[in-house]
Amino acid sequence: MSGMPADKAHRSRLSSLMRVLLGVSVAIVVLSYLTSPRYPRSRADRLVCLVNLRSLGAGFALYADEYGNKYPSLGQWCDLLAKRFVLEEHFHCRAGEKKSRCDYAMNPHADPCCAPDVVLLFESQGGWNLSGGPELLTTERHKGGGVLFVDGSVRWIKPEEVIGLTWVGEKDLPAELRNGRRPQNDGEAKYWLENMIWYHRFTTREIQAAMGLSERQIVGAQEKSGIRSGSRPVRGDDAPLLVLPYPGGRHPRIGFLEGAVDPQRETKFSVFTPWDPNNYVVVDVPEAIWSNLGLTYLAHTHIDTIWTKQGIELPKLEWNRQVDGSLDIRRKLPNGMAFGVRAVPSRDAVRMEMWLDNGTAEKLSDLRVQICVMPKMAAGFAAQTNENKVFTNPYVACRSADGRRWIITAWEGCQRPWGNEDCPCFHSDPKFPDLEPGQRARLRGWLSFYEGTDVQGEFARIEATGWRK
């Protein structure tokens, strides 16, 4: 007697059973909505669309389970799923064209090994075995569109959220785009495009690296928001110094790049010079934190910290942007230790503050912090030398090539004023007092610009402001 092997027969029966159960569940849920006067037709159509996507997602999962953890091929995905895994009625959206056999498209970059948030299927204008990217996603039927992700979840995407979708897995991105931060909606995209185009004057390639988006997505977002390089608002003469989160995508160093692999942007902010709105310095705070535990935090990935040695990856964060132009951020480390930074601009300086909390059960000591100021993008300050720097603890000043302008920084508790001529950069690195469990300590910092030749006199003027209090 001939027949299929027992295990395949079992899977076939399971597939058939799941198809029946899915069909019944769809009918029950949809009918309950359609017969209720509380729910309009548009909402019922959305529900059908999301249930369809869940059914298709189950079909993809069953197919991958049976065929070596692979999805059906792009040119046949509808044929292969409809043959054994999904009822054909689930390929059609109620709000779609009646003549359309399938109202969904497959992302060609999706595979079962992708990150869970990568798009697998999405609502499209229709076409059997259709595949493509965000240009095919339609949001016209229900003022939004249904999307299925690799992890099997489904979500209703508003039009302004389309830009936040992930279409390519990390392993498929070019190396220079893998540290990009994708905006989650049109509002975020608009903010970062203003940041990069108006102020940091990034190239399209640099924007790609910062945002992790394709050139087509960037051009579309720019056209949608109407951002052009020449439309930057003019700041008033009495405005405070401009402080913005540094977006990444362009390395703020010239040299010593082997010492800054995959730099994290959440520690970096830009301060624009008062003499040229296109010039800025990048402050990296904190670049690193040491303690009696070892290297406790690092804003790069070239040296192991106590966390990377344990295989722990810290989550990516963003600066909190306040209405007064200030920035702040807080990070809690896996052992309960926490730190935070605040930068508040005024007309004459940026006043900074950093705090440390000992949320561990043990005393913390040797709490040294490295804080880097990088002047690469300030014209006249980028010479790779320490000959243009003055170190008068806690003040460190970098002089322009013409000798008339200065960038000055200082930190309370400075235990090491120094410069790295290869980057180039300069530091006023502080040390926190030892902390018992439950204790917090704060240190204040300063950054300003000076035009003149008496830098020691400027140090005295800054000291008289009482910035450490």
Assigned domain for 426 exists:
yes
Residue 261 pLDDT > 90: no
Whether residue 19 is found in the same domain as residue 160: yes
Question: Which pLDDT band holds residue 308 (cuts at 50, 70, 90)?
Answer: very high
**Are 147 and 157 a contacting pair, CB within 8 Å?**
yes
Task: Name the 3-class secondary structure at 427.
Answer: strand
Evaluate whether residue 420 is within a structural domain. Answer: yes
Query: Residue 170 in 3-state DSSP?
Result: helix
How confident is the model over 34-59, as a mean pLDDT? 74
Query: 17-22, long-range: CB within 8 Å, 24+ apart, which pairs?
Result: 18/58, 18/62, 19/85, 19/86, 19/87, 22/54, 22/55, 22/58, 22/86, 22/87, 22/90
Whether the full predicted model's pTM is greater than 0.85, yes or no, is no
Supply the pLDDT for residue 259: 65
Is residue 238 included in any domain, yes or no?
A: no
Sign of the torsion formed by the C-alpha atoms of 85, 51, 112 and 132: positive
What span, in angstroms and rounded, lies between the C-alpha atoms of 149 and 293?
A: 40
- In Å, what is the CA distance from 76 to each residue of 50, 181, 324? 22, 33, 55
Q: What percent of the chain has pLDDT over 70?
A: 87
Domains in the chain, number: 3
Does some domain include residue 295? yes
* pLDDT at residue 48 greater than cutoff 90: no
- pLDDT at position 12 over 70: no
Whether 24 maps to a domain, the answer reads: yes
Residue 107 near residue 167 (C-beta atoms within 8 A):
yes
Query: Is residue 379 very low, low, confident or very high in pLDDT (cuts 50, 70, 90)?
Result: very high
Judge if the upstream peptide bond of residue 394 is cis by omega within 30 degrees of 0.
Answer: yes
Q: Is the pLDDT of residue 358 over 90?
A: yes
Q: Which residues, 6+ apart, have CB-to-CB distance to 265 below 8 Å?
A: 181, 210, 245, 246, 247, 248
**pLDDT (mean) for 433-440:** 98
| Closest by Cα among 368, 329, 349, 452 to 410 | 349
Q: Report, as an integer, the average pLDDT of 386-394.
A: 98
Q: Angle 137-150-143 (CA atoms, 0-180°, nearest 5)?
A: 30
Question: Structural domain of residue 118, as residue ranges?
Answer: 6-164
Neighbour count for residue 198 (Cβ, 10 Å):
18
> In terms of domains, do 226 and 265 share one?
no
Query: What are the φ and ψ backbone dihedral angles of 41, each rounded to 5 degrees?
Result: -60, -40
Q: In a 3-state reduction of DSSP, which class is residue 77?
A: helix
CB 368 within 8 A of CB 415: yes
pLDDT (tens digit per residue) in 212-235: 888 888 888 898 888 988 889 999
207-245 burial, b at 16+ Cβ within 10 Å, e below that, comes to: bbbbbbbbeebbebbbeebebeeeeeeeeeeeebbbbbb
- Considering the domain architecture, whether residues 317 and 437 belong to the same structural domain is answered as yes
152 and 300, same domain (yes or no): no
Nearest to 60 by CA among 42, 46, 72, 50: 72
Same domain, 392 and 276: yes
What integer pLDDT is reported at residue 219 of this predicted model?
Answer: 87
Would you say how long the chain is, in residues?
A: 469
- Confidence at residue 172, expressed as pLDDT on a 0 to 100 scale: 66
What does residue 25 show for φ and ψ, rounded to 5 degrees? Answer: -60, -40
* Tokens found for residue 412: 């309370």
pLDDT per residue as tens digits for the range 286-300: 999 999 999 999 998
**Quick check: is 209 in a domain?**
yes
175 or 327, which is more confident: 327
Same structural domain, 301 and 380: yes
Which of 105, 131, 164 terminates a domain? The answer is 164
Split at pLDDT 50, 70, 90, the class of 95 is low
Question: What is the percent of the chain with per-residue pLDDT over 90, rounded to a whole number?
Answer: 64
Are 279 and 299 part of one and the same domain?
A: yes
Residue 48 maps to a domain: yes
42 pLDDT above the threshold of 70? no
Q: Is residue 223 domain-shared with residue 250, that is, in the same domain?
A: no
In a domain, 66, yes or no: yes
What pLDDT score was predicted for residue 19? 46
Residues 320 and 183 in one domain: no
- Residue at 175: amino acid letter: A
Are 281 and 430 contained in the same domain?
yes
Q: Cis (ω within 30 of 0) for the bond into 286?
A: yes
Q: By the 8 A CB rule, do 195 and 244 touch?
A: yes
Same domain, 220 and 367: no
Q: Are residues 157 and 248 in the same domain?
A: no
For residue range 110-156, what is the model confidence (pLDDT) as tens digits? 999 888 999 999 999 878 999 998 889 988 887 889 999 999 999 99
Non-local (6+) Cβ contacts of 290 within 8 A are: 296, 366, 367, 368, 369
pLDDT for 101: 87
pLDDT in tens, 325-352: 999 999 999 999 999 999 999 999 999 9
d(CA 189, CA 123): 22
Query: pLDDT at residue 17 above 50?
Result: no
Tokens, residue 280: 């800025």
Query: Looking at residue 359, what is its pLDDT?
Result: 98
Instruction: Check whether 13 has a pLDDT greater than 60.
Output: no
CB 249 within 8 A of CB 211: yes
